[in-house]
């Protein structure tokens, strides 16, 4: 089975965890890069508004075409304002997931993962509307916006995925 990890990361938490996963499963990494920066207070507020409104951003390249040939796709995104990111929405707008198994992994600052079922449900429905089948969802704890949680913390969070999954 050929596997890839599609991820978006602003502060490095999701990227670090995606790289841990890639090394564990020998999967390929596909990084989502937005064309517009999200810097400063205005960028932070815009990010939250776009996340709440489930907007899509403009991505560099055509990363949705890079998943062709993969059987299993891991979608990884931080949680912003209790929602997925505009980058993951943009990817799902154009991705063809027909016949692909998909696992969703989210990272958020809230250690209680309040409201994550709603986010996972939304992302699962998006995956299914594109012809994919969601196999599992994982909620990990990252850090507060603008901060890196640290390697030790993220490794421990990732271990939870490994212990509760058939990776």
- By the 8 A CB rule, do 26 and 87 touch? no
Domains of the chain: 3-163 (3.40.50.360)
Q: In the predicted model, is pLDDT for residue 146 greater than 90?
A: no
Closest CA to 19 of 155, 140, 167: 155
Closest CA to 76 of 1, 20, 145, 149: 20
Give tens-digit pLDDT for 66-125: 999 999 999 999 999 999 999 999 999 999 999 999 999 999 999 999 999 999 999 999
- By the 8 A CB rule, do 72 and 2 touch? yes
Residues near 82 by Cβ (< 8 Å), separated by ≥ 6? 51, 52, 114, 115, 118, 119
Q: What is the pTM of this model?
A: 0.94
């Amino acid at each position: 089975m050929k596997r890839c990890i599609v991820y978006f990361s602003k502060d490095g938490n999701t990227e670090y965890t995606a790289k841990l996963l890639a090394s564990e499963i020998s999967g390929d990494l596909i990084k989502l890069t937005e064309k517009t920066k999200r810097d400063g207070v205005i960028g932070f507020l815009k990010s939250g508004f776009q996340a709440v409104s489930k907007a899509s951003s403009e991505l560099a390249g055509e990363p949705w075409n890079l998943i062709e040939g993969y059987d299993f796709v891991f979608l990884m995104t931080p949680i912003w304002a209790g929602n997925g990111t505009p980058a993951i929405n943009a990817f799902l707008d154009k991705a063809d997931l027909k016949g692909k198994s998909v696992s969703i992994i989210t990272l958020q600052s809230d250690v209680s993962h309040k409201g994550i079922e709603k986010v996972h449900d939304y992302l699962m429905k998006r995956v299914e509307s594109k012809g994919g089948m969601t196999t599992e969802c994982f909620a990990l704890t990252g850090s507060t916006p603008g901060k890196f949680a640290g390697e030790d913390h993220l490794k421990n969070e990732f271990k939870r995925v490994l212990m509760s999954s058939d990776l």
